[in-house]
Structure 1
């Protein structure tokens, strides 16, 4: 088991449905998310920066 800290970006405009579910699905490609947080959102581009801890 490897625990890793990652950062990803999500385009909020492309999210259909609930944002938290979309974030969890995006994080699944990196591993099983333990916790995550939206750290910034660019209001001009609607890109959200996500920091997460995942288990690989």
Structure 2
């Protein structure tokens, strides 16, 4: 198992709880999220940028 730094773009959701669930679901596809943060919000494109550290299998 190794850790990886990833960046993901997630569509804005109707509520903060829905946004958190969407972020966690997307990160889970890439490994086990250890830590993540929203680092940018693009209101024109209706997306947030998330940076995360995930643990996963070696690539």
Paired position in structure 2 for 1:37 = 37
Q: How does 1:41-52 map to 2 (within 5 A)?
A: 41-52=41-52
Query: In the TM superposition, what is the alpha-carbon distance from 1:14 to its structure 2 partner?
Result: 8.0
Count of equivalent residues? 55
Query: In structure 2, what is the Cα distance between the partners aligned to 1:23 and 1:13?
Result: 10
Structure 1 segments (4+ residues) deviating >4 Å: none
Partner of 2:23: 23
Distance 2:14 2:21 in 1: 13
RMSD: 1.7
- Once residues 2 and 23 of structure 1 are traced to their aligned partners in structure 2, the CA distance between those partners, rounded to angstroms, is 21
Unaligned runs of 5+ in 2: none
Identify unmatched segments of 5+ residues in structure 1: none
- TM-score relative to the length of structure 1: 0.87
Return the TM-score normalized by structure 2. Answer: 0.83
